[in-house]
Amino acid sequence: MIDSLAVIWSIGRKDLLLELRNKDVVVAVAGFALLIMVIFTFSLNLSQDSARLIGPGVLWSAVAFAGVTGLNRAFSLEVEGNTLEALMLAPVSRDLIFLGKALGNFLFITVALVVVLPVFAVLFNLVIFRWEMLAISLLTTVGFSAVGTLFAAMSVRVRAREVMLPLLFLPVVTPLIMAAVESTSHMVNGRSWSDMSEWLQLAVAFDVVFLVVSAFVFQHILED
Amino acid sequence: MTKVLNFLDPLPIVSAVLMGVALWLIFIWVPTEINQGAVQRILYFHVPVAWGSMLGIFVVSGSSIMYLWNKNEKWDRLAVASAEVGVVFGGLMLLSGMIWARPVWSVWWTGEAKLTTALILFFIYVAYLMFRAYFPPGAQRQRLAAVIGLIGAANTPIIYFAANLWAQAHPPIVTGPAADAESSLGSDLGTVLLVSTLAFTFLFIYLLQIRLKVRKAEDDIIELKRNSGTHAPISQAPPDQAQSTEARGTS
């Protein structure tokens, strides 16, 4: 158990180190998400009521679209540096490699959210710094990184992978986006945990299913 | 020689006859529904193609799991053939549903749970086919495609649950003609639906069979090219041809 965690952490830490040096993914995801939100604020002509109504949807669509661009980088770096083979040669099981890469992506999206959420609060003039928001963000990020890591590993060898990843990723994470948007909108409308509990349960179920299924099928993706 | 189209097959004949009977039942035999009028007849197409698209998803998921389990190429061929036919049926389902919804619900589209689920699943299986089209052929493509098939299957209950919750939170705006009169159709509706569904099921199986044969022929060509070396054209390599005919005979 401790050994497995050590493997997951060392793969995650490797990605984190690379990211600390070039800051490719976090800057891309955060910058892209911010731009999407800014464009929406101009094209929607916001009032305080309409901000509450459409703000959550704008936030999570921006994070989903921007997240895809970051996820694309996760495995393309491995392929460009020919390090994917090295990773596959490592004497550890494939599900741990998956969890390590997913951990890296989880950390990147989390850092990007730390930048994006305050700007969202300012642009849409909404109070979002509450425990509910922490739970929603964590659950959504876990699901995004689980599904995203799996599909990024699959589409890395496809021609036109920039097109392929969103086409695979977005329909599959739609239930999670719905959960994130609905529970955020409960939160900004001042409702309690019990109102959003069903959506949070759905997000938990999504995360568990896709972490387990993705880790399980990852051996088929990194074969030969 | 694998022949793709053979009109003496029992399957196309049964599909054609059943389709003819279904058309007669739908447009001549069954009386017009009182509340919705002639539009209601779309139901007799919509339900069977929806069933066909569901059947397609079931076959894709099942054969993807079978392929991952025993790596037999026939499961991969069944999965892709079924995805293709299923996406066509799914597209027809979405279109016929919208044509029906416009006069009856007075909207083309709404956030109803079944609609949302069908649309998202449709996109997942379109992505499945696009992925196959973009990926270079080989065992890896088959494995990865099977993984997408599996993910789509695992996601289906979650999508349906989410779409249901969403529809409860945002009740669909539907202002159609109210059903004030008791439907006059009774058991006639069931009869027509049954025959029509049967006809479309046979059509589904027939189309699936055609696609399977085409896939098999494509795989045979790849195999032929591989046996004859990458550069030599097939026609100039008689020994390999003999070998491949043999291989085809046994498969």
The 3 state secondary structure assigned to chain B is CCCCCCCCCHHHHHHHHHHHHHHHHHHHHCCCECCCEHHHHHHHHHHHHHHHHHHHHHHHHHHHHHHHHHCCHHHHHHHHHHHHHHHHHHHHHHHHHHHHHHHHHCCCCCCCHHHHHHHHHHHHHHHHHHHHHHCCCCHHHHHHHHHHHHHHHHHHHHHHHHHHHHHHHCCCCCCCCCCCCCCCCCHHHHHHHHHHHHHHHHHHHHHHHHHHHHHHHHHHHHHHHHHCCCCCCHHHCHHHHHHHHHHHHHC
State the average pLDDT for chain B. Answer: 82
Query: What mean pLDDT is reported for chain A?
Result: 89
Locate A44 and state its tokens: 């929607």
- Amino acid at position A79, single letter: V
Q: Does A222 touch chain B (CB under 8 A)?
A: no
pLDDT score, position B108: 87
Compute the radius of gyration of chain B from its Cα atoms.
22
Query: In this structure, is residue B192 part of a structural domain?
Result: yes
B7 part of a folded domain: no
Using the 8-state DSSP alphabet, how is residue A170 labeled? H
Range of the domain at B124: 41-172+185-213
| Number of domains forming the structure of chain B | 1
In degrees rounded to 5, what are phi and psi of residue A87? Answer: -60, -40
- Per-residue pLDDT averaged across A92-97, rounded? 88
CB B30 within 8 A of CB B188: yes
Please state the rounded mean pLDDT for residues B231-235. 49
B146 touches chain A (CB under 8 A): yes
pLDDT category at B243 given cuts 50, 70, 90 is very low
- Using CB atoms, which residue from A158, A159, A220 is nearest to B143? A220
Question: How is residue B10 written in tokens?
Answer: 């029992």
Please indicate if any CB of chain B lies within 8 Å of the CB of A197: no
The span from the CA of B82 to the CA of B59, in Å, is: 6
Backbone dihedral angles phi then psi of residue B228, each to the nearest 5 degrees: -90, 10
The whole-number average pLDDT for the span A146-158 is: 90
Q: Which residues of A touch B170 (CB under 8 A)?
A: none
A42-A48-A53-A56 Cα dihedral, nearest 10 degrees: 70
Query: CA B237 to CA B220: how far, in whole Å?
Result: 16
In whole angstroms, give the CA distance from residue B149 to residue B144: 9
User: In this complex, do B158 and A213 lie within 8 Å of one another by their Cβ atoms?
Assistant: no
* Whether residue A71 has pLDDT greater than 80: yes
Number of structural domains chain A divides into: 1
Tell me, yes or no, whether B49 lies in a domain.
Answer: yes
Q: Which of B131, B155, B166 sits opposite A164 (nearest CB)?
A: B131
- A179: part of which helix (H) or strand (E)? helix A161-188
DSSP codes joined into one string, A182-216: HHHHHHHTT--HHHHHHHHHHHHHHHHHHHHHHHH
B130, A164: Cβ pair inside 8 Å? yes
Higher pLDDT pick, A124 / B235: A124
Place of tokens 């994006």: A116
pLDDT of residue B172: 65
Size of interface A-B (CB pairs under 8 A): 88
Q: Does A7 touch chain B (CB under 8 A)?
A: no
- Whether the CB-CB separation of B26 and B198 falls below 8 Å is answered with no
Mutate to test the interface with B, among A154, A184, A195, A201 (most CBs of B within 10 A): A154
Distance from CA of A156 to the nearest CA of B (A): 10
- The packing angle between helices B43-70 and B113-134, to 10°, is 50
The values of phi and psi at residue B37, to 5°, are 80, -155
Alpha helices by DSSP H, A81-160 = 84-89, 94-124, 131-155
Mean pLDDT of B30-50: 85
Name the packing angle between helices B113-134 and B73-105 (round to 10°): 140
CB of A162 within 8 Å of a chain B CB? The answer is: no
- Quote the pLDDT of residue A35: 94
d(CA B128, CA B124): 6
Look up residue A182 and give its two tokens: 């609905």
Mutate to test the interface with B, among A79, A139, A178, A200 (most CBs of B within 10 A): A178
pLDDT (mean) for A33-37: 94
C-alpha distance from B154 to closest chain A C-alpha (Å): 8
- pLDDT-wise least confident of A129-138, B19-28, B235-244: B235-244
Closest CA to A119 of A170, A59, A161: A59
For residue B37, list its beta bridge partners.
B33
What is the pLDDT, as a whole number, of residue A112?
92
Structure tokens given for B179: 């059903």
Per-residue pLDDT tens digits for A171-218: 999 999 999 999 999 998 888 888 889 999 999 999 999 999 999 999
> Would you state the pLDDT for residue B245?
43
ipTM, 2 dp:
0.89
- pLDDT average, residue stretch B80-85: 94
Residue, of A159 and A94, whose pLDDT is higher: A94
pLDDT in tens, B96-109: 999 988 888 888 88
